[in-house]
Amino acid sequence: MIEAKHHIPNEILVAYSTGTLPEAFSIIVACHISLCDKCRVEVEALDAVGGAILTNQEKIDVDEDSFFKNNGIDIEFKRKNS
């Protein structure tokens, strides 16, 4: 197997792990980490940190339709089609 000589910068891996990297770049990162142990370990560590942060967040009550409102989805359309 060919070993990668260049690796993805940490700030790009953070964006990938948090889901804020544009899709086209995410595909490139996914391809790279599928072949690169070093970067895959970094992403796994970042994912673990993100998971721990989410797990330890205080729970808050949210409106049943807040997902749809925040994503610009018409509430009436959702109700008619669910």
Please give the residue ranges that form the binding site for Zn ion (CB under 5 A): 4, 7, 36, 38-39
Specify the residue, 10 or 70, whose C-beta has the smaller distance to Zn ion: 10
The residues near 1 (Cβ < 8 Å, ≥ 6 apart) are 35
A 10 A CB-CB count for 17 gives 20
Q: How far is the CB of 4 from Zn ion (least distance, A)?
A: 5
Specify the residue, 15 or 39, whose C-beta has the smaller distance to Zn ion: 39
Q: How far is the CB of 71 from Zn ion (least distance, A)?
A: 33
Among residues 7, 15, 2, the alpha carbon closest in space to that of 32 is found at 7
Specify the residue, 38 or 78, whose C-beta has the smaller distance to Zn ion: 38
Q: How far is the CB of 39 from Zn ion (least distance, A)?
A: 3
Sign of the CA dihedral with 55 first, then 52, 50, and 36 last = negative
